[in-house]
Amino acid sequence: MKPGGQGGWFTSVDTAVQQAKEEIARERSERERAERAARAARAKRRGVSFCKVTGSWRAQVKTMGKQHQLGYYNDEEMAAKAYDMAVIKIRGKHAVTNFPAEEYAEEMRSRGASEISVEKFILQLRSEAKRQNKLRREAKEDKPKRAMTGYLLFADHMRDRVKEDLTADLAEGENLNVQAMVSAIAALWREQDKETKEEWQARAKERRDAVDQRPERAAVEVGPSTSRGGKAVEVDRPGPSKRPRHDPPVQREPLPQKRGRPGRKNRSSLYRGVTLNKHTGWWEARMSRAKGYQRHFLGYYKDEEMAAKAYDMAAIKIWGKDANTNFAPEEYAEEMRSRGASEISAEKFILQLRSEAKRKPKEDKPKRAKTGYILFADHVRDRVKEDLTADLAEGEKHYGQAMLSAIAALWREQDKETKEEWLARAKGLRDAVDQRPERAAVEFHGTDDTILYPSCFDANAGLFEVLLTNEDAVLSDELNHASIIDGIRLCKAERHRYKHLDMRDLEDRLIATQTKRQRLIATDGVFSMDGHVAPLKDIVALANKYNALVFVDECHATGFLGKTGRGTEE
């Protein structure tokens, strides 16, 4: 046959193309079948999946490449019916449903599905799901809600007035920021004197006493409940946690299945709010998230009982009489009064505990020198390098990882006595470490500790990135030294510049950044270009007022200012 006639190689090409198309369609069909099987393994109903976060069934439908949420349901069957009605509205008689389509005819007519668009019908299903969930929650919650605290009662009282004041100051077309209203109410609360705050707390207490607690009282009358370890404990009041108080907690035995046996291996503790940090070997006290407070770190302690007491004081400050503590709350009454806990906020009290944990006296030991293995590695490094280089082919390069592996293998081959000998040598080196420069700096400035850098530029470059994260803010004087500016650029904190030596502008920026986790005021002690001296007293006063940290670069002041040459601090 000639090309172009009936049959010939044109027919062969068409056949091959048709076979390729059929093969591609077959592969796509198998892939879709596998995906459908995987989806069927996750949920029994089409268009329904289980949400682990909310613990409810989620219905959703996809149309025109867009995913539509139909709502969350406590019952899987209700979610499947919502999907069926949505897919019937979208695809009509061609819809593939979980139940027969005839069952929904009456309900679709009552909803007026034929008279509204698909989007409106989906919104109708979603709002119906929200309404049913709300009714179910209201029917389920037959217990009285917890009453307000004094601050919340004060906030409700002042909300309308603050809203009017802020709205009056807004420009035309500008919307009111809720965060600004919250900050304004908090500022008003801080301005109140002690007697006014106590009056609001008394009102809140009256409300709490007026709350109907019959379910709780009935539970107390029935008798004690069995707690962990088989010990009976009477719960005489509700608390922020469902776990009952144990007194003394050291006597209770945790369940092996849930928390394991106490010890350093699994970082467990017999005390509430205490865990063992496997990196430092110290006990870590931490306050969980509650009542709008974030998860707060309370410090590291060598003694597990001290960490438990720090947690107890923080819990009493936040939750008051409802706090679940490790020891009896009466034991902390005198210490809480001496700390002035009733006069400061919970955040400041937690910072006080944290700073006290950091100020604990450290053992007077020299810095850790080389270990026995590192000393051994230094000793055999040259010999191992020569052996590896001799075995290399011409033009082949030597890699450090091979040398490290060879040294590690040699160390494993050493007997116990040889290893102990190297460890003894390392101990001798540690004892011989000379720390006179650091100790001299500590004694001169009266600080807790000192780290020496090769230059002030290196110190500024290595400080801010370690202390600050993207949740923090740094407030810098606009004429600070270039090393401070470069160090601030290396961190992820939000950056603010205040006018040179202008304390009013600094205070405005401190107020504007009150939502940040931590704020750092950075300034030169003596400004190198102008010779101006920073007003440290005013800066420290503002930092104490707004709970901020202060960083001072004394490079141009130490040795020149003050009676003894300690710099701007004198």
pLDDT digits (tens, 9 = 90+) for 32-55: 777 666 554 455 788 888 776 667
What pLDDT, on a 0 to 100 scale, did the predictor assign at position 348?
Answer: 84
Query: Is pTM beyond 0.75 here?
Result: no
Residues 6+ apart with CB under 8 A from 66: none
Residue type, 79: A
pLDDT digits (tens, 9 = 90+) for 485-513: 988 988 889 999 999 999 999 999 999 99
473-477/225-226 β-pairing: unpaired
Residue 197 CB-half CA count within 13 A? 13
pLDDT (tens, 9 = 90+) of the chain, 570 residues, equals 444 444 454 455 567 767 777 888 888 888 877 766 655 445 578 888 877 666 778 888 877 667 888 888 878 888 888 888 888 888 887 788 888 888 888 888 888 888 888 888 888 888 888 888 777 777 655 544 545 678 888 888 888 888 888 887 777 777 777 777 888 888 888 888 888 888 888 888 887 776 655 455 554 454 444 433 334 344 444 444 444 444 444 444 443 333 333 334 445 677 888 888 777 778 888 877 555 556 678 888 888 888 888 888 888 888 887 788 888 888 888 888 888 888 888 888 888 888 877 654 444 444 444 677 888 888 888 888 888 777 766 666 656 667 777 888 888 888 888 888 888 877 766 555 555 677 777 778 878 777 778 788 888 888 888 888 899 999 999 999 988 998 898 888 999 999 999 999 999 999 999 999 999 999 998 898 888 889 999 999 999 999 999 999 988 888 778 888 878 877
Question: How far is the C-alpha of 280 from the C-alpha of 301, rounded, in Å?
Answer: 10
Query: What residues does 268 pair with on adjacent strands?
Result: 263
Residues 6+ apart with CB under 8 A from 146: 208, 211, 238
Instruction: Report the residue count for the chain.
Output: 570
DSSP secondary structure code for residue 563 in this structure: S
